Chains A and B, each alone.
Chain A
Amino acid sequence: MVDAQYFGDGLTNLNPSDLKGKLIAIEGTDGVGRSTHIEMLQEWLEVQGYGVITTGWTRSNLMSKTIEMAKEGNILDRWSFSLLYATDFADRLEHEIIPALRSGFIVLADRYIYTALARDFVRSGNRQWVRDVFGFALVPDLVCYMRIDVETLVLRVIETKGMNYWESGMDLRLGSDLYDSFKKYQSLLIEEFDKMAKEFHFEVIDARQSPDEIQTALRSKIQPLLTTSLQSPKLPSDHLTQPAPSA
């Protein structure tokens, strides 16, 4: 990360320009298939000899249990909601992401702080505070935003895992039932993601395409970041390329 930097007031004990790896964030609303594509990307990169770690929203050792408990009914006001996620993120940043980047890994982040920014904005109508809170976050080398329209998203979610309370923003009471609420909440999030896509220069990927097309698009955005210096030398060179999956 040659020009690595923090969003705002950074970590006082770390100069981000020492980090050799690449940080790639995959963003997009619930149900666009982020995790499936991240698995495929990891496979593709590892076969080429790159060291890869993935990190996922709310998956920190410190906070994952706490957030589960909180969601079961002990919070949530807007501030503790965002601060819980910020704590989870900080734990992963300092214990997973930064050490990996320092060792030259490619870090694939399933969601990044933009998710928190969008969710907080939808709840508060204010952008500044949550951005200040996440000031210690590293600016990724690349943000791929898997964009979908709400009509397509609704059908996809109903067909697969169904709508849940939090993905429907039920705490906001936006609609009289799960369906109305989900649709309104996700529309608001998509609207905010679209604005951030311009502001933070996301690479926008049309997530209504087939999985193959999406994966190809993601790879073409990531390819320019890859340099031979990131490759681990011990892998044989005939494994450096891998055809796109047929799934």
Chain B
Amino acid sequence: MSEQPPLARHPHPYPGKLITVEGIDGSGKSTQLQLLHKWLESKGHRVFFTEWNSSELVKETTKRGKKNKSLTPTTFSLLHATDFASRQYHEILPPLKAGMIVLADRYMYTAFARDVVRGVSPEWIRKLYSFAITPDMAFYFKVPIETAISRLLGGTRGQFKFYEAGMDMSLNPDMTESFRIFQSRILSQYEKVVDEFQLITMDATKDIEAQQNEMRRLVEEALKDYKPRRGTHGRRTVFWRRFDEPKPE
């Protein structure tokens, strides 16, 4: 894959900045993104946050599909791509055009790692997301599987979720063992993705504070040429959910 990139990835032309985080469950990426969010806002930046698989329309469908166990790797993948497309149009593009900072908890790289482990073609999934805006910074929180397991079991959650343990794949009847197998496969796909798309690898075994300091340093550096759109400090930004009917591209 490295000698012949399937798609030309161009930097986006918008005045805003797009920062994404990736990593397996228990890598601490969401915590890090939240802390970054706080810091950016405290510096007066206008920030918009968006999360993987969160659009109402698609979430309902995924729930239904999971309930009657009819989702296949292909439909699972397509539903996530639909969700992404819809969020890119409604949530990511407008703030980028408005010059804001967009923070995305998981991005297309999640699909490149997870959906491939579930069994879709790696070439196909990359073509599917060829319309995705290239992030300005894409972080990958690298963590050994055992660290992730002990964080999830010992931490706030105390247990695994059915799908994040890959229980639907009948890898092992024991949930912890299933999680270990499934997420280890995802880790090895992530390794490929990191090389292919040059994600910024963070050592997610370090203390939360140490990781956050490193992340802030890198973001500050990347934002040096950024002309911030300063908003009223601390004011919540209410976003347009639906805009208008789309114009033809």
Contacts and interface: CB of A to CB of B under 8 A. Distances in A.
Interface of A: 8-13, 61-63, 65-66, 69-70, 73-80, 83-84, 86-87, 90-91, 94-95, 123-125, 129, 132-133, 135-136, 170-173
B123 to A, nearest CB: 5
B246 A12 contact: no
**Closest A-B pairs by Cβ, 10 of them:** A9-B124, A79-B85, A132-B127, A77-B89, A83-B82, A87-B78, A80-B85, A9-B121, A80-B86, A66-B61
Given A84-B82, A171-B245, A9 B75 contact: no
Of B64, B75, B249, most buried by chain A (CB within 10 Å of CB) is B75
B156 interface: no
B88 A79 contact: yes
Interface residues of B, number: 37
10 contacts: A10-B121, A61-B68, A77-B88, A94-B74, A123-B249, A132-B128, A135-B124, A136-B124, A171-B245, A171-B246
A94 B120 CA distance: 13
A12 B119 contact: yes
A12 B70 CA distance: 18
B57 A66 contact: yes
State the majority secondary structure of interface residues on A: helix
A203 to B, nearest CB: 29
Given A12-B73, A79-B89, 20 more contacts: A9-B123, A10-B121, A12-B119, A61-B70, A65-B64, A66-B58, A66-B60, A70-B57, A77-B85, A83-B81, A84-B82, A87-B78, A90-B72, A91-B70, A95-B72, A123-B248, A125-B248, A132-B127, A132-B130, A136-B121
Interface in B94-128: 119-121, 123-124, 127-128
Contacts of A124: 248-249
Nearest to A9: B124
B85 A62 contact: no
Contacts of B73: 12-13
B123 A63 contact: no
A76 B79 contact: no
B127 A87 contact: no
B131 interface: yes
A215 to B, nearest CB: 35
Contact of A129 (B71, B131, B242, B247): B131
A90 B78 contact: yes
Interface in B51-70: 56-58, 60-61, 64-65, 68, 70
A244 to B, nearest CB: 39
A160 to B, nearest CB: 27
